[in-house]
Amino acid sequence: MTSAELFKKARRIEIVARRLVEEQLAGQYHSVFKGRGLVFSDVRPYYAGDDVRAIDWNITARMNAPHVKQFVEERDRTVNLMIDMSASGFFGTRGAIKRELAAELAAVVAFSAIQNNDRVGLYIVTDRVERFVPPKKGRRHVLRVIGEILAFQPASRGTNLAVGLDFLAKVARRRSVVFLVSDFLSGGWQRAMQITRRRHELVPVVVGDPLEQALPPVGLLVLEDLESGALVEVDTHGAGADYARRARAAAAGRELALRRLNVDCVEVFTDRPYVDALIAFFKARAKRMAHG
């Protein structure tokens, strides 16, 4: 992809992402992600019903009347995008490959973040951390993030999400929101994600393609494992049912593992609008937060 093509594609994604953020996701991101905590704002006279633990005793003594401290939520957050760019991300049979879908979804999250004056960082992982862009604010920075995703060519075909999460633990000292975008087809990520969620707000984003769940009945197919490069010939008429059964079992196992993490997940597919999944995620998260 030439520089001109890259710029054109990044600009198109920016236009789509900003429109979605402004028209369909306005306010939803802001409402479901807490700030880093409460910071002191002001002191005012005590009123009946105020929490006595908030009394400022120094001001109370000076004014000879009870006063309480006021606090406001510190909205300044860091949003870290961790994108699995292993070879399986180059797969896609409907509308877009998984890698492009991941780029667009990451752009929507990034523009939602900067609209709320949050920082955005990027981690591109395969079986190693291949790109790291430290968190910053602003449109220019987000365009760099999108460009890095679109231009990226992996040095490795494999996947090891645990390596990326371990690196995050070392460099992300402050609490952040972590969107982990992957097809989660490889294993070995459960323990690392469990550790990550204790320190950060972890949001797994599962990217899939319908052909990963069921093969079309077209006869003989030669399938390639994009990460290992292995080739296998499959008769879809005879093996289709077995393939679908195995795919359902793998998806059920992944879903169970994610559910055990007790985190809110997003699931998107190459053959349907990802914005619907994002809206559903925000609504479900808001509902859960409202019920404690």
47 plus 139 within the same structural domain: no
CB atoms within 10 A of CB 61: 11
Q: Smallest Cα–Cα separation from 199: which of 173, 162, 161, 163?
A: 173
**End position of a domain, from candidates 54, 74, 94:** 74
**End position of a domain, from candidates 25, 54, 74:** 74
Residue 118 included in any domain? yes
Q: Is the dihedral of CA 102, 105, 107, 113 positive or negative?
A: negative
| Better-predicted residue by pLDDT, 123 or 40 | 123
51 plus 103 within the same structural domain: no
Note down the domain range covering 235.
79-290
218 plus 114 within the same structural domain: yes
The burial class, CB within 10 Å (0-12 / 13-18 / 19+), for 15 is exposed
133 plus 265 within the same structural domain: yes
142 plus 284 within the same structural domain: yes
Q: Which two tokens stand for residue 198?
A: 């204790």
49 plus 113 within the same structural domain: no
Question: Which pLDDT band, with edges at 50, 70 and 90, does 140 fall under?
Answer: very high
47 plus 161 within the same structural domain: no
**End position of a domain, from candidates 59, 74, 89:** 74
In total, how many domains does the chain have?
2
96 plus 65 within the same structural domain: no
Residue 168 included in any domain? yes
57 plus 138 within the same structural domain: no
Q: pLDDT at residue 38 above 80? A: no
**pLDDT for 204-253, tens place per residue?**
999 988 776 666 655 665 655 555 666 666 666 666 667 677 778 888 88
Residue 13 included in any domain? no
97 plus 229 within the same structural domain: yes
Q: pLDDT at residue 288 above 70? A: yes
Residue 6 included in any domain? no
155 plus 44 within the same structural domain: no
- Give the chain as a 3 state SS string: CCHHHHHHHHHHHHHHHHHHHHHCCCCHHHHHCCCCEEEEEEEEECCCCCCHHHECHHHHHHHCCCEEEEEEEECCCEEEEEEECCHHHHCCCECECHHHHHHHHHHHHHHHHHHCCCEEEEEEECCCEEEEEEEECCHHHHHHHHHHHHHCCCCCCCCCHHHHHHHHHHHCCCCCEEEEEECCCCCCCHHHHHHHHHHCEEEEEEEECHHHCCCCCCCEEEEECCCCCCEEEEEHHHHHHHHHHHHHHHHHHHHHHHHHCCCCCEEEECCCCHHHHHHHHHHHHHHHHHCC
For position 74, what pLDDT does the model report? 57
**pLDDT for 85-138, tens place per residue?**
886 655 545 556 777 888 888 889 999 898 888 999 999 999 999 999 999 999
Write the single-letter amino acid at 39: V
98 plus 63 within the same structural domain: no
| Better-predicted residue by pLDDT, 10 or 166 | 166
Residue 10 included in any domain? no
**pLDDT for 141-151, tens place per residue?**
999 999 899 88
Residue 31 included in any domain? no
For position 256, what pLDDT does the model report? 92
Residue 2 included in any domain? no
Q: Smallest Cα–Cα separation from 80: which of 166, 172, 178, 162?
A: 178
CATH number of the domain that residue 151 is part of: 3.40.50.410
Contacts of 41 by beta carbon, 8 Å cutoff, 6+ apart: 70, 71, 72
Residue 284 included in any domain? yes
Q: Which two tokens stand for residue 128?
A: 């190693």
CB atoms within 10 A of CB 159: 26
